[in-house]
Copies of this chain bind each other. A is one copy, B any other.
Amino acid sequence: MLKLFYTPNTCALASHIILEDVGAAYETVRIDFRREEQRKPEYLAVNPKGRVPALVTERGVLTETPAILVFLAQLFPAARLAPIDDPFAFAEMQSFNSYLCSTVHVAHAHRMRGYRWADDPAALQAMQRKVPQSVGDAFALIEQGILRGPWVMGEAYTICDPYLFTLAQWLEADGVDLARLPRVLAHRERMAARDAVKRAVAMELDPKT
């Protein structure tokens, strides 16, 4: 059975939603960042990166959200969540997810995890000050160009949608001017109304899971 290691309020939510979307049999393991469980030997044996998500499969552990999302789309082809047989359409989808992981999520990470890139406390504060702009600009590019509507890739719901939804959870805390992003916010509301999203969010909020 698939097993997802996750932490609430992280990008692991995207994989969690897709597991619900495809109707997979899976279990979850919560990693508590406040207790630094992600840096303990037990978890580093699962994922030496000390990050979430990690998906345990019968053939081994997978990490990195864009890889996990495509894997689940391939494992459950009936859900039709990625156009793998159309190289150009698949590449557009991959391009979007790659932008989320390497630009959007990275801009956001400078608010809470600036210590990855500098040690000086004043530098960490300087990074935090720029997050509203850098995250806002990254989302503006999605708002004005990439997001086709109603879903990211257009009429078809794909693995891009829960990933965008997940990162869009952080817009308010990142101090982004929401007035710039009406289409992103409409997408977020559209996602929040889906049953699979409600189930994944509820599980992550439940302290017993």
CB of A186 within 8 Å of the partner chain? no
> Considering only CB atoms and an 8 Å cut-off, how many residues of chain A contact the other chain?
47
Interface string of A168-200 (1 = CB under 8 A from B): 000000000000000000000000000000000
User: Is the Cβ of A130 less than 8 Å from the Cβ of B106?
Assistant: no
Task: Indicate which residue in B64, B71, B145 contacts A99 across the interface (CB closer than 8 Å).
Answer: B64
CB-CB under 8 A for A105 and B102, given A59-B88, A94-B64, A127-B118: yes
The residue on B at minimum CB distance from A58 is: B88
Interface string of A122-142 (1 = CB under 8 A from B): 110011011000100000010
In angstroms, Cα B67 to Cα A66, docked, is 10
- Chain B residues in 8 Å Cβ range of A90: 70-71, 74
